[in-house]
Amino acid sequence: MKAVTARMARSLLGAATAFFLLSAIFNAARADGEVNIYSARQEVLIRPLLDAFTKASGIKVNVVSGGEDALIERLKAEGANSPADVLLTVDAGRLVRAKDNGSLQPASSEALQALVPPAYRDPAGFWYGLSVRARPIMYAADRVKPAELSSYADLADRKWKGRICVRSSGHVYNQSMLAAMIAYDGVEKTEAWARGLVANLARRPQGGDRDQIKAVASGECDIAIANTYYLAGMIKSGTDDEKKMAAKVAVFWPDQAGRGVHVNISGAAVTASSKNRANAVGLIEFLAGAEAQRIYAEAVYEYPIRAAIPVHDPLAAWGEFKADPLRLSALAQFNADAVKIADRVGWR
């Protein structure tokens, strides 16, 4: 993936990066005790990463899982009494929200500055991206020609009427995509686009991203907007039926002549209440390091934040792409406007 390859990172990697990463791991290995995580990620997905950290450091990792908004509200309500040391989320906007309500503390280090590209971290060190989540267009390989596709903006064209599937606007993935559009185009133009998209839907939004992919495969719609790791999961670890459906769906990278594919991150931050701060920082450094980044690519099917980490099929088979370079703090800045737009245009 070029642009998440080209994505601002090659110059950050090299001998200095390797030194910082090794230092972080060896420092963690001398530590003892534990680190407590509030995680919006499914534990089954992140457990290989956490087990690798424990093996390298000897630090026990305790996880409380839940929805992002619920965990952020819990952190705020618990205040200084919260047992959480680290917040893990699947959206940059939620990290900014936790920062703004006072639930996070800065945790800058030389390793994190070297390993995490500027676009994927808070300038003051309050949060760090750990994997890149691309949200391109999925299409029916037997009914849609790639030449018919071009940009997200084109999805509002009437030629797609009755042909598009997308999940509810109530999910943060779509809210953040709209927020990114607002950052570039403003509320009025983004609302016009959203109204056109809704007019072109093949059905009322329902289910998750994997359900949109299945709807394309079954012929209920011709194209969908979805995160790539859902399709990868169907290809690599799904049932036989899911694998057959996934084989009918292809990935198109929109806006390659423009601002690029919309991307978001999974990310982490040290909580303001952390009682195990050194272990918390060590964990985030480890997750940004080479071993964990390989796990993100090979087991979680998300793109590494580090350009030097190779990806394998199916990610490699989809080719390189240009990613939107927008600073992800904008996703929180325009989230409220995105929700209002979705409500006004009837994107339920």
Domain 8-132+265-309 identical in fold to domain 136-260+331-345: yes
The confidence score (pLDDT) of residue 45 equals: 86
Q: Omega into 118 within 30° of 0, i.e. cis?
A: no
Residue-wise pLDDT tens digits, 76-112: 999 999 999 999 999 999 999 999 999 999 998 999 9
| Structural fold of domain 8-132+265-309 | D-Maltodextrin-Binding Protein; domain 2 (3.40.190)
Q: Residue 137: which of 45, 221, 199, 41 has the closest Cα? A: 221
Which segments of 210-258 are extended strands (E)?
223-225, 249-252
Of the chain, the percentage scoring pLDDT greater than 90 comes to: 85
Distances (CA, A) of 221 to 160, 165, 201, 243: 10, 6, 8, 18
Q: How far apart are CA 188 and CA 291, in angstroms?
A: 44
What is the sign, positive or negative, of the torsion defined by CA atoms of 8, 11, 16, 19? positive
Residue-wise pLDDT tens digits, 159-215: 999 999 999 999 999 999 999 999 999 999 999 999 999 999 999 999 999 999 999
C-beta atoms surrounding 66 within 10 Å: 13
What is the sign, positive or negative, of the torsion defined by CA atoms of 236, 206, 43, 309? positive
What tokens were used for 134?
Answer: 């691309």
Tell the CATH superfamily of the 136-260+331-345 domain.
Answer: Periplasmic binding protein-like II (3.40.190.10)
Backbone dihedral angles phi then psi of residue 278, each to the nearest 5 degrees: -60, -40
Amino acid at 321: F
Check whether 235 has a pLDDT greater than 90. Answer: yes
Residue-wise pLDDT tens digits, 286-330: 999 999 999 999 999 999 998 789 999 999 999 999 999 998 989
List b or e across 195-210, with b for residues whose CB sees 16 or more CB atoms inside 10 angstroms: bbbbebbbeebeeebb
Give the three-state DSSP class for 251: strand
Domain ranges in the chain are 8-132+265-309, 136-260+331-345
Give the three-state DSSP class for 113: helix
